[in-house]
Amino acid sequence: FVSEIYGAQGRVVDKSLEIPLLTGPALAGLPEASFVWLSRDPRDTALSIYKTPFPRRADWTWSWERIAHRIVHAEALKRHYMALFPERILDLQYEALVSEPDTAAPRLLDHCGLPPEPVQTDFYKGPQVVNTASLMQVRQPITASNIGQWRRWDGFLQPFTDIFERIWPEEWGEPYHS
Q: Which amino acid appears at position 150 of this protein? A: W
Confirm if 64 and 46 have CB atoms less than 8 A apart.
Answer: yes
| Confidence bin at 8 (pLDDT 50/70/90) | low
Which residue would you say has higher pLDDT here, 140 or 22?
Answer: 22
* Strand partners of residue 38: 92
Taking the CA atoms of residue 118, residue 124, residue 128 and residue 131 in that order, the dihedral angle to the nearest 10 degrees is: 150
What CATH superfamily classification does 18-172 receive?
A: P-loop containing nucleotide triphosphate hydrolases (3.40.50.300)
Checking if the pLDDT of 135 tops 70, the result is no
pLDDT at 92: 95
70-84, pLDDT tens digit by residue?
A: 999 999 999 999 999
In the three-class reduction of DSSP (H, G, I as helix; E, B as strand; rest coil), residue 57 is classed as helix
Write down the pLDDT at residue 108.
Answer: 92
pTM exceeds 0.95 for this model: no
Res 76: pLDDT:
96
**Digit-coded pLDDT (tens) for 96-133:** 998 988 888 889 999 999 887 765 566 677 666 666 55
Q: What is the mean pLDDT of residues 52-62?
A: 85
Tell me how far apart the alpha carbons of residues 155 and 146 are, in angstroms, rounded to a whole number.
17
What are the extents of the domains in the chain? 18-172
**At residue 149, does pLDDT exceed 60?**
yes
